[in-house]
Amino acid sequence: MKRIAVVCGLLAGIAAGVHAQMPVGATGSTTLAPLRVDPAVKSALGGVSAEQVQADIAKLVSFGTRSTLSSMDTELPQGQGILPAADWITSEFEAISKECGGCLEVKRDEFVQPASTDPRARVTRPTKLVNVYAILHGTGGDKAPWVLVTGHYDSRATDVMDGKLTSPGANDDASGVAVSLESARAMAWLTKAGVKLPGTMVFAAVAGEEQGLFGSAHLAKLAKSEGWPLKAVLNNDIVGGDTTPGETGQYKDVVRVFSESIPATATPGEQRMTLGLGAENDSPSRELARQIVELAPAYFKPATERPAALKGGMRSQLIRLVPPFHPVMILRRDRYLRGGDHTSFNAEGFPAVRFTEWRENFDHQHQTLRTENGVVYGDLLKFVDFAYVAKVAQLNALTMASLAAAPSEPQHVRVVTKELDNYSNLQWDASAFAPQGTTYEVVWRDTNENLWTHSQSAGAETHLTLDVSKDNVLFGVRAVSAAGDRSLAVPPVPERK
- First-to-final CA distance of the chain: 42
120: region left, alpha or beta (phi > 0 left; psi from -120 to 50 alpha): alpha
Closest contact distance (angstroms) between CB of 217 and Zn ion is 15
Nearer to Zn ion, 294 or 357 (CB): 357
Closest contact distance (angstroms) between CB of 155 and Zn ion is 9
Closest contact distance (angstroms) between CB of 460 and Zn ion is 44
Q: Which of 380, 351, 336 is nearest to 175 (CA)?
A: 380
Contacts to Zn ion from residues 265-324, by CB under 5 A: none
Closest contact distance (angstroms) between CB of 263 and Zn ion is 23
Nearer to Zn ion, 172 or 485 (CB): 172
Q: State the binding string over 247-276 for Zn ion (x if CB under 5 A, else -).
A: ------------------------------
With helix as H, strand as E and coil as C, how does the chain read? CCCCCCCCHHHHHHHHCCCCCCCCCCCCCCECCCCCCCHHHHHHHHCCCHHHHHHHHHHHHCCCECCHHHHHCCCCCCCCCHHHHHHHHHHHHHHHHHHCCCCEEEEEEEEEECCCCCCCCCCCCCEEEEEEEEEECCCCCCCCCEEEEEEECCCCCCCCCCCCCCECCHHHHHHHHHHHHHHHHHHHHHHHCCCCCCCEEEEEEECCHHHHCHHHHHHHHHHHHCCCCEEEEEEECCCCCCCCCCCCCCCCCEEEEEECCCCCCCCHHHHHHHHHHCCCCCCHHHHHHHHHHHHHHHCCCCHHHCCCCCCCCHHHHHHHCCCCCEEEEECCCCCCCCCCCHHHHHHCCCCEEEEEECCCCHHHCCCCCEEECCEEECCCHHHCCHHHHHHHHHHHHHHHHHHHHCCCCCEEEEEECCCCCCCEEEEEECCCCCCCCCEEEEEEEECCCCCCCEEEEEECCCEEEECCCCCCEEEEEEEECCCCCECCCECCEEECC
Q: By CB under 5 A, which span of 81-89, 166-174, 322-330, 342-350 interacts with Zn ion? A: 166-174
Q: Which of 92, 173, 348, 360 binds Zn ion (CB under 5 A)?
A: 173
Closest contact distance (angstroms) between CB of 250 and Zn ion is 17
Compute the distance between CA of residue 403 and CA of residue 254 in angstroms, rounded to an integer.
22
Q: By CB under 5 A, which span of 154-162, 234-242, 418-426, 480-488 interacts with Zn ion? A: 234-242
Closest contact distance (angstroms) between CB of 68 and Zn ion is 12
Rule CB under 5 A: say whether 360 interacts with Zn ion: no
Nearer to Zn ion, 153 or 452 (CB): 153
Residues 6+ apart with CB under 8 A from 429: 410, 411, 412, 462
Contacts to Zn ion from residues 184-213, by CB under 5 A: none
Q: By CB under 5 A, which span of 40-48, 59-67, 236-244, 287-295 interacts with Zn ion? A: 236-244
Q: How many residues bind Zn ion (CB under 5 A)?
A: 3
Q: By CB under 5 A, which span of 77-85, 165-173, 249-257, 385-393 interacts with Zn ion? A: 165-173
Closest contact distance (angstroms) between CB of 237 and Zn ion is 4
Nearer to Zn ion, 173 or 409 (CB): 173
Q: By CB under 5 A, which span of 78-86, 168-176, 402-410, 422-430 interacts with Zn ion? A: 168-176
Closest contact distance (angstroms) between CB of 380 and Zn ion is 15
Closest contact distance (angstroms) between CB of 238 and Zn ion is 6
Closest contact distance (angstroms) between CB of 153 and Zn ion is 10
Nearer to Zn ion, 207 or 489 (CB): 207
Q: Which of 38, 92, 154, 237 binds Zn ion (CB under 5 A)?
A: 237
Q: By CB under 5 A, which span of 10-18, 233-241, 398-406, 456-464 interacts with Zn ion? A: 233-241
Nearer to Zn ion, 151 or 263 (CB): 151
Q: By CB under 5 A, which span of 171-179, 317-325, 354-362, 415-423 interacts with Zn ion? A: 171-179
Rule CB under 5 A: say whether 172 interacts with Zn ion: yes
Nearer to Zn ion, 218 or 445 (CB): 218
Report residue 392: phi and psi, to 5°: -65, -40
Nearer to Zn ion, 167 or 425 (CB): 167
Nearer to Zn ion, 237 or 287 (CB): 237
Rule CB under 5 A: say whether 38 interacts with Zn ion: no
Binding site for Zn ion (CB under 5 A): 172-173, 237
